[in-house]
Every structure is written in structure tokens, then in C-alpha cells.
Amino acid sequence: MDVISGLAQGFAVAFDPVNLLYCFIGVFIGTLVGVLPGIGPISAMSLLLPVTLSGSPESGIIMMAGIYYGSMYGGSTTAVLVNIPGEAASVVTCIDGHEMAKRGRAGPALGISALGSFVAGTFAIVALMLVAPMLAQVAVAFGPPEYFSLMVLGLTILSFLTQGSMAKALLMAAVGVVVGLIGLDQINAMPRLTFDRLELVDGIGLVPVVMGLFGVAEILANIEQQIRRDIVQSRIGSLWPSREDLKASAGPVGRGTLLGFLLGVLPGGGAVIASFASYAMEKKLSRTPERFGKGAIEGVAGPEAANNAAAGGAFIPLMTLGIPPNVIMALLLGAFVIHGLQPGPLMMSQNPKVFWGIVASMYVGNIMLLVLNMPLIGMWVQVLKAPYRILFPLILMFCIVGVFASGNAVFDVFVMIGTGLLGYLMRKFGYEAAPLVLAFVLGPMLENNLRKSLILSQGSFEIFVVRPISIACLAIAVFLLIAPLLPALRKKREKVALDVTE
Amino acid sequence: MLRRAEFWGGLFWLGVGVFVTWQGWLLELGTLHEPGSGFVFFWLGLFMSALSLSITVAGARGEGPLLADLWRGARWRNVVMVIAALIVFGVLFQKLGFVLCSLALLLFLMTFVDPVAPRLSIPISLAASVGVWYVLEKVLLVQLPKGSWLEDVPYLSWLAG
């Protein structure tokens, strides 16, 4: 099936009234959780995962995808108006976006972030549409050793790019694999770390773990501080950027789009890293870098484009290889599996309706987002005024409901409470949750491919070295593992971490 | 050494790593030709132990923040209250059912953790718990716990279906 006929079939799916409604609900909820600090796309997607069961697979996944890219749009509103990132990828937008707002230029800051996001989002969809079929053809040749090495590379990249200690990030990845393997052994059905509890035989659910580590832990971290919000009180004014603004932003949007897309495709990369990299690049390329941090529109346009392009790019490894490059894609993988679908090289030929339907719905969703974001800014500002002391009990209740509904078991609620406390303590002690969750999802695949490879090679590790794709992935992983030991590279990594913290 | 967060954090994960290694050993390692159920657990446990040992040693050498600094100025009582409330919620969820449990949870959080005026907290809690129950039970047909203790209680048995 060629791209054009695939896309035509996709648009037929996307324009189905039910799917249009799901897409709208997805982008609307995505924008809402992007706007609200304290609840991000990860919590929202885990919360709504059980709801998708009532519809067709394509409807559910269209909604989940909409939440993801919708939150990228919404996050910028909070960043510009309140100086609090609605979600992690908007941290950079706070720097110049809020400065612009304080100088009475909130309108153009919001306008350029919506336009930049639209351009980047559209580019990412076109690239996904063109690159995915080619990559899927290559991916058919992947065997267990290639999959194993690629997953090792993904986890290593994520650990390398985390803010703090790499040893802690790798430790969390190892913990994630262990937790992911709890339950029956896939090969010989032996129960592992189940402690004779029937609830653990099927393993620990993704939703309670994610809701605990991200939802509950975020609430616990927030309620121990006094949250203060400085909402910009002056009029937001016209959202349409001036001709000078558009001229100054064109380059950053183009560069941010390309960079974001490439980083999004990379396993372990994602929207957060893309936005930081774009900001650093724009500052370096600028003739007047001193304007950055004082309300430079390039500092809003580049990162906003980058995080949206990365959000689109991240679908490629998931759809073509079946490997989620980040936590959000891991949740989306969970949604596919719940609906009995397995993303991977055969997805396009076996389930063209789902694949092309999702691609086409992203076009539709992007247009919906532009329409939602431009005229509804005033409504989002009102949402932002809701005090956190009222929001957090409600979010907590939704977390409980979401977790219970996902498995219909009180045990899952206790898993969520336990992982919530663990996530809160991990934040305190400087351990990141992202490598743990990604490894939790990849763990069973990782073990399966490792054991299959060893059985195939009759116990020889040579199988990982003689295959070109496998050795290339492992070589990069090893380089990243030893990189922090090299003084020059260590400095560079620490600088990235410092930029992120600042 | 004992006052460093790194030391205690590393020690905790070292314990977990040793436990995982031991469990892997018990589960049977198998051979390289045919790895057993405990093969990955065992090697991952050793990897975790090595990493956490390096973190513990760094903490023992005085690296990282002090344990007390992690909670300096923080309203940690709020965290304890929320965790306790969630545990009580979990214990009573099946017995009291969704509506009463969530109503009590919301009222507790809005009264004791981060207080909200009763003229707001009471209607919001009522509307949220009954509203969510209605949407899930009646619209989305999701089965929520109805409350085994309520079945014989006059005026409340409607909640138990």
C-alpha cells in the first residue's frame, strides 16, 4: 500500500464522527493537563487508558495520541502566563515566554508558540508518514539480538541524558526491569517474585506504577511547598505576532523542528531534551545572545517547535519497531497491547486502518489545537486561577478512580500508594522515575530477546557482536556509559544538566 | 557519614540489589545455552548492588546533601497526612464503597491538609464524589465498590446497589 492510498484510508478513519469526537476529547484534555501544573500527559493518559476500552482500538489510540501532543501545546500557556511549566517540555518556554508576558507581549509569545507548534507538529506528521514505511521495511530484518541491543541503547541514552547522577539513572533502569519481570516467566511459566500473591502472578500493572511515580509523587512534592502563582494580570492583547516577530522566529522554528524531530526519533530522547537543545542552539547562533532570558521571541519559538516535532518523531520507533522511546510512548504501547495490537514492522501491513488512521488524525488534531489555543486562551487563564488546594484532592481522587478502573482491583490502589511514596522519596534523594518506567515496559521484551539470542547462538555472546545493527547500538551504548568518566565529556554533560536545572 | 542522604539512599538500594540477586539464584540460573528464570534477575541484582555500593561509598565519603536538608522548610506533615489518608481509603474502599470513601477523602484533604473554606469544600466534595460515581457507574458502566458494610444500613443501602 503506497503512502497516498494509505493516507486516504487514514482520513476516512479520522473523519469518522466518533473518531473526530475522540480526537477532540484527546486534544482538549491534553491542552487542559498541559495548562494545569501538577498533572501532566503521563498521568492523564494512564487515567484514561481504561476509558479507551469501550471504543474501537483506533478511537482509543487517537484520543491517547491527542492527549500527548495536546499537552505540548497547552504547557506553553502556563509557562508564559504563570512562569510554571504546565509539563516538563515547557520548562524552557518559561525563561523568555514569561519575560515577554511581563513586558506586555504575552499575546505574541502565546501566538508564536501556537504557530511554531503547528508548523513543527505538521512537519513531524509528514516525516512520520514518509519515514515509517521505509524504516518498517528495514525493521523486518531485526532479530532478537538487534532488538535487545536497541533496547539497551535506549535505556542507556535515557540514563545518559537525565539530569543527575548516571549511576542513579542506570540503577533505576535496572530496578524498572526487575519490577517489569515480576509475574510468570514468559518462557517456562514459572512465577517470579510473586511471594505467593495471586495479584502478582500477572505482573504489576503499568497504570498503577505510572500513576504512583508521576501522579501521586508529583502531588506529594507539591503539597509540601507553598505554591505561589504570578498570573500575568495585564491584557494579553493580540495573539498574532508582528511581521518582525515572524521574521525573527522563522529560523528558530525551522531549526527547532528538524532538531526536535531527530531527537524525538532517538530512543531515550524526547520533547524535554529537544526543547533544551533548541534553546541552547538558538542562543549560540544568535548575534545578540544577551537578549535571551530577557524576552527574546526566538527563545520561545525554537523550543516550542522542537518539543512538538519531538512528540511527533517519537511515534516512529514505536510504530515501526514496537519499541517505545520514552515513557509516554510506553503508555501508548500499553494502549495498543490492551486492544490486542502489537506495534512493529508488520503493523502497517496487518493493521493499516489503525496506523494510517492515527497519522491522519494527527493532522486533524493539529488543526483542532490551533483553533483551540488561539481563541480559548482566556478560558485557559481562568482554569489556571483555580487554587491548587482544591485541585490536588480532585486529581488524587481521579488517580484512584483511574487505577481502580484499569484492573478492577483494590490491590492496584495500594500499588499506586506504594509507588507514589517511593516516587516522592526518589525525588528527594535525586533518583529519576523516567528510566524506571521505560525499563519497566521494556523489561519483559529485553529479557525475552536476550534469552532467545543466547538460545539461538548456543550460549555465545558473539551473536551481539557479529550483527552490524546490534554491534553499532552496543558500541554507542558503551561509549555513553564510559563518557561520564572522560573529563571533557563529563563537563559537557554536567553543563547540560545545569542548564536543565536553571 | 550517617547524616548523608546518599549513604542511606545507596544502602537501601544495596539491600534491594542483594535481595534480587538472591532471588535470582533461588529461581535457577540455567546455563548460557538455555538461561533459566533467574538468569536476568541474578545478573541485574549484581549490577544493582555494584551501582548502589558506589553510591553508598560516595555518601560515606561525605558527598551529597545532608538527610535533614531534604526536608528543611518543607511541610512534611502534609505528605504524612495524605499518605495516611490514602491507606485508610484503600482499607475502607471495599467496605464503605466509592461514594462515602471519596467524599470522606476529599473533605479530609480540603479540611486538614490544605484548608479550604467549608462553603467551598463541602459542595465540591459532594459534587465530585457523586458526579464521578454517576459518570463511571451509569454512563461508562465501570463497576465501583458499592460498600459491603452498607448493604443492611437503612437510608444508605441504595449506595450498595
What would the pLDDT profile of A442-493 be if each residue is shown by its tens digit?
888 899 899 999 999 988 888 999 998 899 989 988 988 887 776 665 565 5
Phi, psi of A322 (to 5 degrees): 80, 15
Of B71, B97, B123, which residue sits at a domain end? Answer: B71
Which residue of B22, B37, B112 to mutate against A (max A Cβ within 10 Å)? B37
H or E segment to which residue A452 belongs? helix A434-456
* 368-397 in chain A: CB under 8 A from chain B: 387-390, 392-394, 396-397
Neighbours of A459 (CB within 10 A): 14
Q: Residue B156 falls within a domain, yes or no?
A: no
Half-sphere exposure of A159 (CA within 13 A, CB side): 28
Q: A390: which chain B residues are within 8 Å (Cβ-Cβ)?
A: 110, 116, 120, 124
> Which of A192, A405, A450 faces B136 most closely, judged by CB atoms?
A405
Question: B81 and B48 share a domain?
Answer: no
The tally of domains found in chain A comes to 1
> Which of B31, B44, B140 faces A54 most closely, judged by CB atoms?
B140
Say if B9 is an interface residue toward chain A (CB within 8 Å).
yes
The reported pLDDT for the residue numbered A231 is 58
SS3 B66: strand
Distance in angstroms (rounded) separating the CA atoms of residues A268 and A328: 11
The reported pLDDT for the residue numbered A151 is 86
Say if B66 is an interface residue toward chain A (CB within 8 Å).
no
Q: Residue B157 falls within a domain, yes or no?
A: no
Question: B50 and B108 share a domain?
Answer: no
Q: Residue B93 falls within a domain, yes or no?
A: yes
Distance in angstroms (rounded) separating the CA atoms of residues A357 and A359: 6
Question: B92 and B128 share a domain?
Answer: yes
Q: Do B83 and A417 touch (CB under 8 A)?
A: yes
Say if B103 is an interface residue toward chain A (CB within 8 Å).
no
CA angle, A169 then A175 then A180, to 5°: 125
Distance in angstroms (rounded) separating the CA atoms of residues A276 and A307: 9
Instruction: Show the cell assigned to A370.
Output: 490551533
Q: Do A175 and B23 touch (CB under 8 A)?
A: no
Question: B57 and B103 share a domain?
Answer: no
Which residue of A397, A398, A436 to mutate against B (max B Cβ within 10 Å)? A397
Residue B109 confidence (pLDDT) above 90: yes
CA distance A205 to chain B (A): 17
Query: Which structural domain range is residue A177 located in?
Result: 3-501
A336 in Cβ contact with A322 (< 8 Å): no
Distance in angstroms (rounded) separating the CA atoms of residues A355 and A333: 13
Residue of A299, A341, A223, A273 whose CA lies nearest to A89: A273
Question: B67 and B50 share a domain?
Answer: yes
Question: B99 and B115 share a domain?
Answer: yes
* 170-209 in chain A: CB under 8 A from chain B: 170-171, 174-175, 177-178, 181, 185, 187-188, 190, 192-193
The reported pLDDT for the residue numbered A37 is 66
Say if B54 is an interface residue toward chain A (CB within 8 Å).
yes
Neighbours of B28 (CB within 10 A): 14
CA distance B44 to chain A (A): 6
ipTM: 0.92
Q: Do A178 and B105 touch (CB under 8 A)?
A: no
Over residues B118-160, the pLDDT tens digits come to 999 999 999 999 998 888 787 777 778 887 777 666 666 655 5
Per the listing, cell 480559548 goes with A376
Q: Do A401 and B136 touch (CB under 8 A)?
A: yes
Per the listing, cell 501522579 goes with A215
Q: Do B5 and A428 touch (CB under 8 A)?
A: yes
Of B71, B96, B127, which residue sits at a domain end? Answer: B71
Contact pairs from chain A to chain B, CB under 8 Å: 160
Q: Residue B145 falls within a domain, yes or no?
A: yes
Instruction: Show the cell assigned to A319.
Output: 510504530
In eight-state DSSP terms, residue A334 is H
Q: Residue B12 falls within a domain, yes or no?
A: yes
DSSP A202-222: T---HHHHHIIIIIIHHHHHH
> Which of A165, A192, A226 faces B41 most closely, judged by CB atoms?
A192
Query: Which structural domain range is residue B24 located in?
Result: 5-71
Instruction: Show the cell assigned to A385.
Output: 486561577
DSSP A376-408: THHHHHHHHTS-HHHHHHHHHHHHHHHHHHHHS
Is the Cα torsion angle A187, A191, A194, A198 positive or negative in sign? Answer: positive
Which residue of A52, A152, A171, A220 to mutate against B (max B Cβ within 10 Å)? A171
The tally of domains found in chain B comes to 2
Residue of A493, A183, A139, A156 whose CA lies nearest to A342: A139
H or E segment to which residue B5 belongs? helix B5-26
Residue of A130, A343, A300, A222 whose CA lies nearest to B114: A222
Per the listing, cell 495536546 goes with A70
Q: Residue B49 falls within a domain, yes or no?
A: yes
Question: B63 and B102 share a domain?
Answer: no
Question: B65 and B89 share a domain?
Answer: no
The reported pLDDT for the residue numbered A500 is 42
* 114-133 in chain B: CB under 8 A from chain A: 114-116, 120, 124-125, 128-129, 132
Over residues B51-101, the pLDDT tens digits come to 999 999 998 888 888 888 888 888 889 999 999 999 999 999 888 888 999
Distance in angstroms (rounded) separating the CA atoms of residues A246 and A251: 9
> Which of A181, A226, A421 faces B40 most closely, judged by CB atoms?
A181
Question: B86 and B133 share a domain?
Answer: yes
The alpha helices in B27-110, defined as continuous H runs, are 39-60, 76-108
Over residues B6-49, the pLDDT tens digits come to 999 999 999 999 999 999 999 988 888 889 999 999 999 999 99
Distance in angstroms (rounded) separating the CA atoms of residues B85 and A501: 33
Q: Which residues contact A311 (CB under 8 A, 6 or more apart)?
A: A68, A69, A72, A89, A121, A124, A264, A271
Question: B48 and B81 share a domain?
Answer: no
The reported pLDDT for the residue numbered B160 is 55
The reported pLDDT for the residue numbered A401 is 84
Of B71, B87, B107, which residue sits at a domain end? Answer: B71
Question: B18 and B57 share a domain?
Answer: yes
Residue A224: alpha-carbon gap to chain centroid: 26
Question: B87 and B144 share a domain?
Answer: yes
Which parts of chain A have pLDDT scores under 70? 1, 37-38, 84-88, 161, 163, 227-237, 267-269, 486-502
